[in-house]
Amino acid sequence: MSDLAAVAEVLARGDAARAVVRVLDRHGFGTVEPGQLLVAGADGTLGGMLLRGALDERATALAQDARDHPATVEAHVAEDAAVAAGLACAGGATLLGHPLDAAPARALAAAFASGVPAALISRADGSASLAITGDELGTVEGSLGFATVDAAAAAHVRGLLRRGATVTERVTLAAGADVLVDLWVPVPTITVVGGGAIADALAAQAGVLGWTSRRADTVAEADAAVATFTDADVLVLIDHDPAFDAVLRTGLEGRGFLGALGSRRTQAARRERLLAAGVTEQQLARIHGPVGLDLGARTPAETAVSIVGEVLAVRSGRDPSALGRAAGPIGA
């Protein structure tokens, strides 16, 4: 979601018409990152990118025209230009540009800014679109024209969300509508405060999951990181220095998962300090400590697995247990 901050800024501006440009169909280019989007505001301001900028000229022109009516263009990128843009090979794409009403635009902007899942679904001709946002994709803004089609679209993207990955696809819904779907699933950033083998293991585990990881070794570094957290982001406090209580207090005023290592004695001492500093019991309930699932972890690598396991469980609203003892659908 690296380009979505700029997209959110454009989408959030006023109630005037804005347009979005997306990749409807493509051939070639090799592996292409999904969820790419170009947005044009009413004042002509642009945000986002398509195919690593290889189609900027065609996409920009389409974005300006599409504020008034939907349109498609065919674009081709030669081998040299594709490689220069970081694509694997030459290719062609059908670009769809279409207007986006204020309500779905604001919903997408808020979701991108806060780091929660978001989906944009439009008819393949660009004649109608809706946005679905929220942790469980429960909020719908806009319409594809019929309630049955809207319901089918919502069910489809909620099914995609369970895969946990950003997706771009063109599909025919059960209701018979030909639609273009973009689903954005935030990539967490895990901020580890402190060093050592567990910090290294957490960075490695983040890499396996496709998450971003960063180290913070001072209160100022950690405080600055936590102050910008979205709902997708994670703090793991390894350092037991009481000075880092300030970082937890900052985190309690914002978003994200807050976890702290340490013995139960360490947790109790931290709890008393935070209560004395004015933190409420309700706020303290947001701190996961000792952080991690009870997996019997003994090594730093196993501890890292238990920590990210708890993060995943909290994000999905699950009470972890063995799949073999569960009665419901796997992955549902």
d(CA 39, CA 211): 26
Tell me, what's the pLDDT at 325?
65
Tell me, what's the pLDDT at 35?
85
Q: What is the DSSP letter of 326?
A: -
Tell me, what's the pLDDT at 31?
62
Tell me, what's the pLDDT at 328?
56
- Tens digit of pLDDT per residue, the chain (332 long)? 447 778 888 888 766 668 999 989 888 776 667 888 888 887 778 888 777 777 777 788 888 888 889 999 888 887 877 777 677 788 888 999 999 998 999 999 999 888 889 999 999 999 999 999 998 899 999 999 999 999 999 999 998 887 777 889 999 998 789 999 999 998 889 999 999 999 999 999 999 988 889 999 999 999 999 988 878 889 999 999 999 999 999 999 888 899 999 888 999 999 999 999 999 999 999 999 999 999 999 999 999 999 999 998 887 777 876 655 656 554 44
Residue with tokens 């902007």: 109
Local structure of 251: helix, strand or coil: helix
Tell me, what's the pLDDT at 330?
45
Torsion of CA 268, 269, 270, 275, to 10 degrees: 90
Has this prediction a pTM greater than 0.85?
A: no
Residue with tokens 């347009």: 19
Local structure of 80: helix, strand or coil: helix
Burial (CB count within 10 angstroms: exposed 0-12, middle 13-18, buried 19+), residue 32: middle
Which residue, 193, 211, 195, is CA-closest to 248? 193
Residues in the chain: 332
Local structure of 291: helix, strand or coil: coil
d(CA 20, CA 101): 10
Respond yes or no on whether the N-terminal peptide bond of residue 300 is cis (omega within 30° of 0).
no
Residue type, 122: S
Q: Which residues contact 94 (CB under 8 A, 6 or more apart)?
A: 23, 24, 25, 26, 72, 73, 74, 75
Local structure of 302: helix, strand or coil: helix
Assess contact for 71 and 97: CB atoms under 8 A. yes
Assess contact for 243 and 218: CB atoms under 8 A. no
